[in-house]
Structures are given as C-alpha cells and as structure tokens.
Structure 1
Amino acid sequence: MSLFDSVEHHYARYRPRLPDQVVELLAQELAGAQAPRLLDLGAGTGQVALSMFPALPPAAHLDLVDQDEGMLRTALDELRPHLGERTATVHAVPAEKFTPAQPGYQADLVTCCRAFHWMDRPAVLAMADRVAAPHAVVAIMGDGSLWTHEAEWTVALKALIQSHLGEDRRAGTTGTYREPGRRYEDDLADSPFSDITEHRIPFTRAWTPRSVLGYLRSTSFARPDLFTDHSGFEEQAEDLLLRHAKQNGVLREDGVFTVLLARRPGVSR
C-alpha cells in the first residue's frame, strides 16, 4: 500500500460489502418491480449498490447520496463496469438535503448502511417520507466495526490503536466518537416509518493483515492523519496481525449484520 493512496481508494477496496443473505432480504422488498428505484444514503464508495447489482433488474435506477464528492466519484468508477442497462446518479449533499431531480420521483427502497449514526436522523426520515413510494421500505443496516468486534485479534488491535491515540475512539478531525443518544428503533418509531422488523443475520469474514491495514486507513478512528508516526503504527499493527493470523494467514471475524426494515403502518408486507 502506498502512503499516497486516497481514503476513497482504501474505502472502495477494503470496506466489506453486504452479506449475500442481506442482499436476498432487501431483494424481497423489490420483488415484482420492473424498474425499481434504490435510494442509498451515506453511500460512500457504493458498497450497498455494488452488493445489490445481482438482485436488480436491468431497468433499475440507483441514487447514491453522500456529502463527500470524492467518495461519490470513486463510487461511479466502481459502478460503471457493472451498470449494464441500469442507471445511477450521485448527489453530493447531506442525506436530509436530498432532492430528486425528476418530478414525481418515488424510491422503492431507501437504504442506509453503517452511516445513520452520523446523520440528523429525524430530518433524514422526514426526507424519506417525502420521496419514498407508499409501499417503500427504509432499511437501516450495520454490523459494527473492527473497533467494536470482540475477537482476540481485534481486542489486541484496538489496544494498540489506543496506545497511540488514547483510550477514546477518535472521530472527525479533532473529536471523539459518542454513541447515539437513542436507539435507531426509537428514531424510526417516531417517524412515519414506525412499523419495524429486525433481522439479525450471522456472517463470517476472512481478513488478511494487509486488508485490515487498508480498512483501518478508511476509518474515522485509525486514519493516517491521526497518528504522529503512522508508519510506525502500521509496522506494529502488521506484526500483531501476523502473529494472530498464524499459519493460514487469515484473521476471522464472526459477527451479526443487523437490518431494521421500517414501513409506514398499514402497508402490507
């Protein structure tokens, strides 16, 4: 890996996509739609869109929303080889500011993966109510991070990060991460999408030391500019990860992907 690779590069290459069972779950919500519209909020470099491609018909349209123009440029680069007849539009605005370009626009599925905690959640859900079709589902999804995962190797890695950056989880340019003040279920319950079902889908991922280091460079808690000696940290982290990977060179992550599917009350499933 080059020190000059962009955050977008690491995000696109190392952030995990959706597990197949999650894709199947979301695809059920689009069953029968000939030209579904997928609205993805906090889209990053397109992990949700890329995961969903096999389940989307040729006439599908995707709207990707993210504040970061660089992320969206990378997302389009990643998406173009796979689009086929499908179309995609990017919107470099905060999620709550999304405004459809076409009159009468209605999203069939609104997704937000690993990003809802950064958003003005009531405003985002109010926006979704304005642009989502009557039958639409809002899917709030996430699987934590290697910071929160509690395997032996991730606990050791977190301790190493804290030895460089302090006990608190870093976020933003100078601040620390704070857990949301309320549950996502409570946000949804107070929104027009108050009919909620939770799905907890187990998954297993295989990491290599190299892919973990690339992933860390894309995070808010271990990105390179937080460290006074990032190359020194990476040397220590690689040594730690190699010790834990042992003979097969693989680091295992067993986790649960949580999907909250929220509908307007009275809409049939």
Structure 2
Amino acid sequence: MSLFTGTADYYRQYRPGIPEEVAAVLDRAAPTAAPRRLLDIGTGTGMVVEALGGRFDDIIAVDNDTGMLHIADAVLRPALPPGSSLALVASRAEDFRPPAGWQAHLVTICRAFHWLDQATVLELLDDQVASGGAVAVFGDSSFWSAGTPWKQAVWSVVQEFLGGERRAGSSTFEHHNRPYSEVMEESPFCQVEETRVPVHRTWTTEGILGCLHSTSFAAPHLLGDRLTDFGTAVKAALSEHSSGDTFTEDNDFLIRIGRRG
C-alpha cells in the first residue's frame, strides 16, 4: 500500500499548487537545450509538470502511486504542447532508470525528498542529469508545522484521533535530522544555492479538511469509521478561530538548486 493510498483526489483538488514565482526559479536553473528535458520525481498528480508547462518539451514524471499517476495523466496530457512528449512512470525513485541515453536538464523533487533514500537517489541522478544540468529539491511547510493558532488547533485534532507521533501510512514518520542542503553538498550536486519564495494563502474549512485528507498523516483510510467524527472535530476547532470561515497563512517555498562541482 502506498503512503498516499486513497488521497489522490484530495491531493489534486486541495493541495496548493506551485506558484509562478517558483516555476520561474526552476526554469532559470536549467540550461536551454533542444529538446529540453525534465525529470520530476515524486510527481504526485503532476503539479510541478503543470507549473512548468511549455518550458520543457521532453518530460518524465515518476511516482510509486498509480492513483496519483492516473490523475496526472488526465490533467497533463490534454495540455501537452504540440511536439512535446510526456512519460508517466510508476516506480520508486530508488528503482527508476531512464531510457538509455536520456538525461535531464532539470530534476525536480517537490515535497517528496523526505520520503527518499536521499544519498542513494542523488548518486543515481549523477548518471541521469546532463552536463550543466541541475537538481532542485523544494517544498513549503505542511500543516504538521503548526505556526498559527488555527494550525495548532488542527494539529491537536489530528493528534487526538491518530496519536502524538506523525503518521506515515501504517507506520510513523521518521524525521531527517540533517538539512537537505547539507545532504546535497555531500552528493555529486554539491554546489547548492538556496532561494526562498514567500506565499500568502487564504483557506476555508473545506480546503483545510481536504488538504489534511491529501496527506500521509491524515489520509481517510487511517481514520476508518472515525472519518466523519474527525471532520466534525476539525470544523469545531476551526470555528473558534474565525467567524467568517477565512484562515490566512504565510508560508514559503525553500528551493535548493544543486549543481555539480
């Protein structure tokens, strides 16, 4: 079972997408080429590929969740520019191998690096990235990183229903204790540049609950027959923090661009 089993529809509808400012940073990180190749690892429902639409014309998107890939295919393929190619591959990052001779000008890993055997994947990418190419590891903070009173209230409900440790499917989440940039600096992509892109979001109760159900720590299957009770508890907790069903969030994307030394 995937860590995200049953979350794909929620993921597509409720997870925040990739801002244009982030897409522009990623675009600038990759050399120009013809064809220009993108490898998106942990693609989920294809949000990174969608955000970079038209900037790359030979794309491979990899994920081990076939439900996510099914939605990605339905979203991305109709919007594919003429002459472009898209391959969606069901695979763990550690097991993926591109076609012979295929090398990416940019590899993107968004909101997924924490699930990977990081050193192994970065070592494998050395053969999968073209000369002058780059690896981008990036993401924003999740609801688990409670930085506002309404997020703290949501976090408390999650813990009440699913325990104090962050769930990861049927197991618990194992936190990485090293900064991603430090891990990258010990890899072939050791020249690392960090960029922060601030984002301001406005949420509703429906959006918050839907986003929670898109995660590995509050997926519907984890809640079982308590799913409705969980929703009721989240709504009650949020009602204490807004009379107009409006919840604001200041977040940011931290983008780490790694290049060979």
* TM-score bin, normalised by smaller chain: over 0.9
Task: Select 2:140's aligned residue among 140, 143, 148.
Answer: 143
Is 1:98 the counterpart of 2:96? The answer is: yes
CA contact (8 A) 1:170 1:221 kept: yes
C-alpha displacement of 1:6: 4.1
Shift of 1:182: 2.3
Unaligned runs of 5+ in 1: none
Percent of pairs with identical residues: 37
Distance 1:168 1:38, change over 3 A: same
Quick check: which one's helix share is greater?
Answer: 1
- CA–CA separation in structure 2 for the residues paired with 1:26 and 1:219: 25
Deviations 1:28-87 (A, max 9, x none): 123643421110001111111111115x15xx1111111111211111111122112222
Q: CA deviation at 1:100?
A: 1.4
Residues 11 and 211 in structure 2, CA contact (< 8 A), matched pair in contact too: yes
Provide the residue aligned with 1:196 in structure 2. 192
The residue that corresponds to 1:231 in the other structure is 228
Note the C-alpha offset of 1:178: 2.1
Q: Distance in 1 between matches of 2:169 and 2:6?
A: 17
Deviation of residue 186 (structure 1)? 2.2
Partner residue in 2 for 1:17: 17
Letter in 2 for 1:7: T
Cα pair 1:149 1:255 within 8 Å, conserved: no
Identify the match of residue 60 of structure 2 among 50, 63, 66. Answer: 63
RMSD across aligned positions (CA)? 1.7
Between the aligned partners of 1:31 and 1:139, the Cα distance in structure 2 is 13
In the alignment, is residue 160 of structure 1 matched against residue 170 of structure 2? no
Give distance in 2, aligned partners of 1:11 and 1:107.
Answer: 26
The two structures have a TM-score, normalised by structure 1, of 0.89
Task: Indicate yes or no: 2:52 matched with 1:52.
Answer: yes
Higher RCO structure, 1 or 2 (CA under 8 Å, sep 6+): 2
The aligned length equals 255
Q: Structure 1, residues 90-135: CA drift from partner, whole Å, max 9, x if none?
A: 111111221112x321100001011111111111111210110011
SS in 2 for 1:97: coil
Structure 2, gaps ≥5 residues long: none
Q: Distance in 2 between matches of 1:245 and 1:51?
A: 32
